[in-house]
Structure 1
Amino acid sequence: MAGLREAGEAASHPITGYGQVATTLGRAYVSSAFRSPVNYAVTGVAMALRRPAEVLSGNLPDSSVIPGGPVSPAPPGTSRFEDWLTEQGMPEPVAGELGLLIDGREFFHSLDRELAGARRSIDIQTFIFDNDDFAVDFARRLKKRSEAVKVRVMYDDLGTSLSSAVAPDTPAPDDFEPPVTIAKILKSRPDPIEMRRTLNPWLVADHTKLYVFDDKIAFLGGMNIGREYRSEWHDMMVRVTGPATQVLTEDFDARWRSCRFPGKLPGAGRVGDDVDPATNARRGLRILRTDVVDGRFEVLTAAVSAIRSAKKRVWMETPYFSSDSVQRELVAAARRGVDVRLVLPGTSDSRLMRLANGATAVDLIRAGGRAYIYPGMTHLKALVCDDWAMVGSANYDTLSMAINRELNIATAEPGFVGELSRRVFRRDFRESRTIKEEEVDAVMSRIAEAVADQL
């Protein structure tokens, strides 16, 4: 699964690690069938339909795909574009304020401040809650805070189990002994934390990263809880305040309930429907989802719509790129003269995705766009189209666009779009080097891309 580290030095004993993964798969295919019978069946049907569609789409030549599609009457960043997105079925924008937190130092400093200042509740959902020394220390601080406030923790079962079997790049202190799984810490006495796992029927993961404090302040983006995100990788989170946090709180509550019988019930209603839409759509925030069970592919639809409608620029940064739908739109935008730039990681936790990224870069370069190699691992997921931006947990791969559960936020608020352009893209363009077509292994990258189309 893209986004999980390749095999390396084990964080715990190999036999224990394999046993933990086997237990995780057992929960995915046995426990989830009893805990969430309807969701289990619906997920199976959805995957049976979605996977063949992705295989077909990923292996058709460009000339076999009907070109074009809906185009906004106004470019991204305008009020008319926002109105048009709503007409296309996107969630209504809600009021809220956004702030960027770039890299682990900024984010975890801000997270620590909210952790210490919470007065009523701390809700955390993450894809990976690792078992390294940084994550264990964070878990213990959560337990300490649970003595005074209500603390709830959710993490993806498969993502956490696989990640916990591999050590981070920087070594832990000599006297540190990692637990088999972070649950051993969170559930230990005294003061065990309320903890639930999001299970993985049919290997569908919940890739969401959402932190909510007192139902008033939320963080979302790409960072999990672990050493890589604190100090090793380039990444980003967004701080959200205002009425939008109500939607995020409801989303967390709904997912929390779904982790117990009868589980998630498809079509049970979309959270946030009772929140008043922003009075000024241009400054509204759209909370977008990928959710295969509910048939929600808003992240993909928003990305394709914005790229297709862009007039000036399309800037994207992502660690994993395998979505043919998005790639076709990037190439088409470059061919019509839009300033298309793509930032990819120079080092990666996924060798397959790194090779596949090369094929995407070549196609973009040939169309007149530019591709960059970041000096290290960038795990950051961001898109700017003209004066509109989208950030969140979703990579631009098949898993994030069509399979896994994702959480993104989109806005045309000028201050945020400007800050994202300045502090992320312009800085990363300067620090990265331009990819040249001749440096890409044409054969291996195309083979990797064919496989990665399903990831």
Structure 2
Amino acid sequence: MRMTTSDRAWRPGNRVELLENGEAFFPRVFEAIAQARREVLLETFILFEDKVGNELRQRIIDASRRGVRVEMTVDGYGSYNLSEEFLSGLTAAGVALRIFDPRRTLFGLRLNVFRRLHRKLLVVDGERAFVGGINYGCDHLEDAGPLSKQDYALEVEGPVVADIRDFLAAAMHAHDNGHSWSHPGITLPVTTPGDAQALFLVRDNGRNSTAIEREYRAAIRAARREIVIANAYFFPGYGFMRELRNAAQRGVRVSLIVQGEPDMPFAQLAARMLYPDLVAAGVAIYEYCRRPFHGKVALVDDDWTTIGSSNLDPLSLSLNLEANVFVRDPALNRQLRSRLDALRQQDCRRIEARTLPRRSFWRTLVAPVFYHAQRRFPTWAGLLPAHTPKVVLVATDEKQDP
């Protein structure tokens, strides 16, 4: 399934809406599923069995029982702890439920950490899509406390939804091994509800392994005034780093927002290794300190924006299955800029050159080795046969075509 900027065109005529955190995202998703008439396709990394996950489950069950075709895929690592009762309630209602790479834990440890299904996609009736970084769990709600996550998603209507729906439908059936669950096409509406141009890209471990990164880097090279990248896990490769430094050195205002209160401290340690070179080149770095930052968003100049599931680290850029929407729309760009400006002003600390550790012989010697090992380790580990993922279709009561 090849999908690049050369053969997957930007689609004009879309309506896009930024959704910040679970408070904005979950009500829109639940409303869309409640209004579904024909089809719901859902794919997520994490589905927790909490008040958010239980409400999603009930909305899915209700939709299926009223005749809507419902198919969903959850990741076996991110959604490993779902009870039999939780799953059987879905399949009994006729939901086609798949688990990406389910594996048993060993002494309580999850070993299927590499090549995760990290996408967060929802398409309803081929008319409305949701793409972003928000999983289905209470930890995306601020009332969950200091460990609740700051994150973003995008609601989309318009021609690009057909691209998302076609991809998702094909991905769900790529591993069915002849199972009889049919997936008939639906007549997709040809409407242009807005003025935004949009491009849907995925990253896989085949021919689309660099599609998202290439689009990022092309936008960075074309930047004239400003680049803002807000990414939870920032540890890109040499080429990406070079593009950022070059942009800053040619006079583009380059800002980076990363975690200051990380949910994974090792990821913060890795990102901080990059600070000296970036700050020396003129990149402004901010650490978000109010709560864990989970966003994967960026903007360039006055009209380019991306929102999706892809971090800028070795897992997302080398192993995980990811999906981003890229948008050319000044209104969305202004809205995201305003939200990120508020974060920088209210909840971030800026990294100053004087606070960075001084260069030493030891750091100069060890840092490149550590960087290279960090960048390459996920790829090396992902080559192991044990990390080749499989998709399991959970036993289901088949539904006849409506």
The bucket for the TM-score relative to the shorter chain is 0.7 to 0.9
Amino acid at match of 1:114: A
Q: Name the counterpart of 1:8.
A: none
Q: Which residue of 1 aligns with 2:270?
A: 356
Q: How does 1:40-439 map to 2 (within 5 A)?
A: 89=6, 91-95=8-12, 96-148=14-66, 149-161=68-80, 164=81, 181-182=82-83, 184-188=85-89, 190-191=92-93, 193-199=95-101, 203-231=114-142, 232-261=148-177, 283-324=196-237, 325-375=239-289, 376-387=291-302, 388-423=304-339, 425-431=340-346, 432-439=348-355
Give the TM-score normalised by structure 2. Answer: 0.76
* Aligned residue identity for 2:159: P
- Structure 1 residue matching 2:274: 3-state secondary structure: helix
**Can you list the C-alpha shifts for 1:105-148, whole angstroms capped at 9, x where unaligned?**
00112112212222222221001112334323432332233211
How big is the shift at 1:191? 2.2
The letter of the residue matching 1:195 is: L
1:453 partnered with 2:369? no
Amino acid at match of 1:211: L
Q: Which moved more, 1:354-363 or 1:197-206?
A: 197-206
How many residue pairs match? The answer is 340
Paired with 1:106 and 1:91, the residues of 2 have a C-alpha distance of: 30
* 1: CA distance, partners of 2:116 / 2:296: 18
Does the CA contact (< 8 Å) of 1:196 and 1:259 recur in 2? no
Partners in 2 of 1:140 and 1:421 — Cα distance? Answer: 35
Aligned identity (percent) is 25
Question: Which segments of 5 or more consecutive residues in structure 2 lack a partner in the other structure?
Answer: 103-111, 143-147, 180-187, 379-402
* Letter of the structure 2 residue corresponding to residue 217 of structure 1: R
Whether the 8 Å contact between 1:93 and 1:285 is mirrored in structure 2 is yes
- RMSD of the alignment, in Å? 3.0
- What SS does structure 2 have at the residue aligned with 1:101? strand
Deviations 1:156-184 (A, max 9, x none): 222322xx4xxxxxxxxxxxxxxxx2564
> Contact 1:356 / 1:445 at 8 angstroms: preserved in 2?
no
Q: CA deviation at 1:365?
A: 1.0
Tell me which amino acid in the other structure corresponds to 1:309.
A
| Cα 1:230–1:123 shift into 2, 3 Å | farther
Kindly indicate which of the two structures has a greater share of residues assigned to strand: 2
Give the superposition deviation at 1:400.
1.7
The superposition leaves residues 185-239 of structure 1 with CA deviations (integer Å, 9 ceiling, x where unpaired) of: 1323752532012238993222111011121111000011112123311100100
Q: Secondary structure at the match of 1:409?
A: strand
In 1, are the aligned partners of 2:203 and 2:211 still within 8 Å (CA)?
yes
Q: Which moved more, 1:137-146 or 1:224-233?
A: 137-146
Q: Which amino acid aligns with 1:426?
A: D
Select the structure that is richer in helix. 1
Deviating above 6 A after TM superposition, structure 1's stretches of 4 or more consecutive aligned residues are: 444-448
Say if 2:286 and 2:349, in contact at 8 Å, map to a contact too. Answer: yes
What's the TM-score, normalizing by structure 1?
0.68
Cα distance in 1 for residues equivalent to 2:266 and 2:367 = 9
Paired residue for 1:57? none
- Gapped runs of 5+ residues in structure 1? 1-38, 40-85, 165-180, 264-273
